[in-house]
Amino acid sequence: MKLVIPCEDCDREGARLTALGFRIDGCTPLAARPGMCELVYDFAPAAAAPARSRAPARSATKAAAAPAPATLPFSGRGNPLSQEGLEQAASGLGVALPALWAVMTVETKGCGFLADRRPLILFERHIFHRRTGGRFDASEPDISSRTAGGYGKGGANQYDRLMRAIALDRTAALESTSWGLGQVMGFNAVAAGYPDAESMVTAMCQSEDAQLLGMVGFIRDARLARHLKSGDWAAFAQGYNGPEFQKNKYDEKLRTAATRFGMGPLPSLEVRTAQLFLMYRGYNAGGVDGWFGENTQKALIQFQKDNALPVSGRLDDASLVALSRSV
């Protein structure tokens, strides 16, 4: 991302953006515009938990985003996916970006957070049954059962179910829930590169980069990267989603998404960032998918009006900076 500003403002604007969670990549004078400089910046990935040797290396860069309202358990900074985080994930697996986008899109429709900055989750009652030896089946059958299902609505409802389970057994509850962009199960935390489920969840509350790297760690540990490389989506889905993957046609969905992304273009991280911030502020951008469509433009226009910005309907630097400052 770039801003064109007076060169005398480089230090001040760079410090302000750093405080908002951006990484400053340089401020370069423009030969064609004397006295003006181009400030290049991007999101700094949040620091993740120490990884095991088989998990991809975590970035040492620490995010310094403005703190999110911590009114809800599991509500964190909610930093969006960054180019650095995406490239680190692709490099860690040795796969092309379209394959990563396919997995993220199928698992979560491309976004790892809810509007309240809690990670997207799904609580699995049959896993909770296994992790607790079934001792809560009789008293709490809707959150502890031999059979899968009974999910109810997504979003906040899943946290209602999770919190009830936590009151019974916190560790088992966290391990019985899938988290973030890759919907990594808590009981796979060690495979994903974390010491335990608690550590994984803490990291995934902070950024989509941490969520993505956890997904990468699990893929590496399960030796599934080769299927991403070869496009064997049935084999990948069986290893990633389990032996009953065909019930939800995961392999078909992954193949379709990979084909689409392989033809290009890929989603825009800048648009995703704007969509995520608009969602945090309560605007309906039509989802967080990296495509600048009619709903995103309408939401952006309303944000521009509400914040006394030039109403252009374009995702310009001023609007993106204003969005980042507002969250």
22 burial via Cβ count (<10 Å: 0-12, 13-18, 19+): buried
Distance (Å, rounded) from C-alpha 3 to C-alpha 10? 10
Alpha helices in 193-248 (DSSP H): 197-204, 208-221, 225-230, 233-241
Cα distances (angstroms) measured from residue 196 to each of 176, 203, 325:
13, 11, 34
> Is-contact 326 281, C-beta < 8 A?
yes
Q: What is the pLDDT along the chain (327 residues), one digit of tens a residue?
A: 566 667 887 887 777 666 545 678 889 998 877 787 887 866 554 443 333 333 333 333 333 333 444 468 999 999 999 999 999 999 999 999 999 999 999 988 889 999 999 999 999 999 999 999 999 999 999 999 999 999 999 999 999 999 999 999 999 999 999 999 999 999 999 999 999 999 999 999 999 999 999 999 999 999 999 999 999 999 999 999 888 898 889 999 999 999 999 999 999 999 999 999 999 999 999 999 999 999 999 999 999 999 999 999 999 989 999 999 998
Distance (Å, rounded) from C-alpha 29 to C-alpha 251? 49
Distance (Å, rounded) from C-alpha 215 to C-alpha 236? 13
pLDDT of residue 34: 78
Q: Which residues contact 4 (CB under 8 A, 6 or more apart)?
A: 30, 33, 36, 37, 38, 39, 317
> Is-contact 27 14, C-beta < 8 A?
yes
Q: Nearest-CA neighbor of 116 among 286, 323, 282?
A: 282
pLDDT of residue 44: 52
Alpha helices in the chain (DSSP H): 10-19, 83-93, 97-108, 125-131, 156-168, 170-175, 189-192, 197-204, 208-221, 225-230, 233-241, 250-263, 269-280, 294-306, 317-326
Instruction: List b or e across 134-158, with b for residues whose CB sees 16 or more CB atoms inside 10 angstroms.
Output: eebbeebeebbbeeeeeeeeeeeeb
> Could you give the angle at the alpha carbon of 45 between the alpha carbons of 41 and 48, nearest 5°?
165
pLDDT of residue 70: 46
Q: Is the pTM of this model over 0.85?
A: no
Cα distances (angstroms) measured from residue 268 to each of 14, 127, 184, 315:
23, 36, 24, 12
Instruction: List b or e across 203-229, with b for residues whose CB sees 16 or more CB atoms inside 10 angstroms.
Output: bbbbbbbbbbbbbbbbbbbeebbebbe
Q: Give the full edge-to-edge strand order of the sheet including 2-6.
A: 2-6, 36-43, 22-29
Distance (Å, rounded) from C-alpha 139 to C-alpha 121? 24
